[in-house]
Amino acid sequence: MITNRIEFLKSIQPNFIVATLNEKENKPSKWVDITMLEPEQIRFRQQLDKEFILELDCKTETENLGLFDTKLKPILEQKEIAYEAWQTHSKSLHINFFFNKSINNNERYSWLCETFGKENVDLAIEKKQIDQAYFTKDKQLIAMEFQPHYKSGKEKSLYSFTPRKINEFKINKLYELQKPTKRKVSITYGDILANPTATEQERVSCVMQILNKHQTWKANEILDYVSLHNKWKNYNPEITRKKIEDYILPKYSKKDNPLQPKQNVCEDDVPTLDLISFQEYDDIFENTHKHLPG
C-alpha cells in the first residue's frame, strides 16, 4: 500500500521532500529527496505543490472526528469536492485536497475561506481547531500515509474519502491571512507556577525563565523547583523531566528565552505548569526549532 501511495503522489509531483524517523528524538530526520529513500523508509513527506492539507487540531480525536463529520464533510459533499481524510490515531485528522495546478499558501487560505466561509475559518484558527502550518509555512512535512504515526505508533489510515482524487482549483478572490503580532510576554514564572490552568506554552516559558535565572542548574534542580512550587493540573514530573533533559537543556541552555520575564521577580511568589507540548513548544521558538509535522 505504501508503494502504491508513493506512486500516486509522484504522479502528481515527481520530486518532493521526504524524511525517515529519528527514533531517538521521535521527530523527522534530515529532509532528503524522494529518490534517496525506499518507500518503506519514508515516515514523513512534504505537502505537495498541488496539494492542500487541512489538519484538524482540536484537543481530542473525538472532537476532530465530530468536527469533520458534522461540519466539514456535508459541505464537501454538497460542493462535490474530492478529498481524503486520514486518521492518525493520535489526535489530529488530516484532510488532503489535490488540485490540477500548483498553488501557494495565500491561495490555500483563500480556497479554504471560499469553501467553508472566512468567518468560520478565522474562528477555527482562533480556537486552534486547525493547524495553520499547512497554509503559512513552506515545504511543511506531514506524517506519511499507511505508515506508523510517530505519536500514536499506529498506521495512519483512511477515515473517509471520495473515489475522485483531483479538484479543479478556482477561487473568486484572494484573502489575506492576518499574521498574529508577536507579543512580548511579561508573565513571571511565579505567576505561571501559581496558575492551575497554565497553558503548555506558559509552562515551557516557565522552565526557560528558571533556566535563565539559574543558568548553572541541572535538570534535576529545575525539576525539583518546579515540582515544589507548581499548582498545575495533570502535572507529571517524570514526563516533565524527560522533556527538560531531552529537549530544553540540549537545545536552549545557552540561548536567551524569547519570552522575557518581568524584572525583579520574587522567587517566593511561585506557583503552576503542565506537560510540555511539542506543538506549543515549536510555536514559541519557531526561529530555532523546526515545526513538527502533524
d(CA 262, CA 245): 26
Which helix (H) or strand (E) is 223 found in, with range? helix 219-229
Number of Cβ within 10 Å of residue 45's Cβ equals: 25
Report residue 217 as a C-alpha cell: 542548574
pLDDT, tens digit (0-9, with 9 covering 90-100), for 27-52: 899 999 999 999 999 999 999 999 99
Range 2-167 has CATH code 2.60.200: no
As given in the structure block, the three cell numbers for residue 205 are 516559558
The number of C-alpha atoms within 13 Å of 224 and in the hemisphere containing its C-beta is: 5
Residue range 88-126, pLDDT digits in tens: 999 999 999 999 999 999 999 999 999 999 999 999 999
For residue 7, which phi and psi values (nearest 5 degrees)? -65, -40
pLDDT for residue 251: 73
Domain ranges of the chain: 2-167, 189-284
Q: Which helix (H) or strand (E) holds 182?
A: none
Give the per-residue pLDDT at 285: 37
Asked if residue 182 has pLDDT above 80, the reply is no
Q: How far apart are CA 64 and CA 42, in angstroms?
A: 26
pLDDT cut 90: percent of the chain above it: 59
Per-residue buried b or exposed e for 251-262, using 16+ beta carbons within 10 Å of the residue's own CB: ebeeeebbbebe
* Sheet order of strands, 141-143 included: 32-33, 17-19, 44-46, 141-143
Mean pLDDT within 265-286? 36
Read off the pTM. Answer: 0.66
Question: Do residues 156 and 174 lie in contact, with contact meaning Cβ atoms separated by under 8 Å?
Answer: no
Question: Pick the residue with more confidence: 236 or 273?
Answer: 236
C-alpha of 130 from chain center:
9
- CA 94 from chain center: how many Å? 12
Residue length, the chain?
Answer: 294
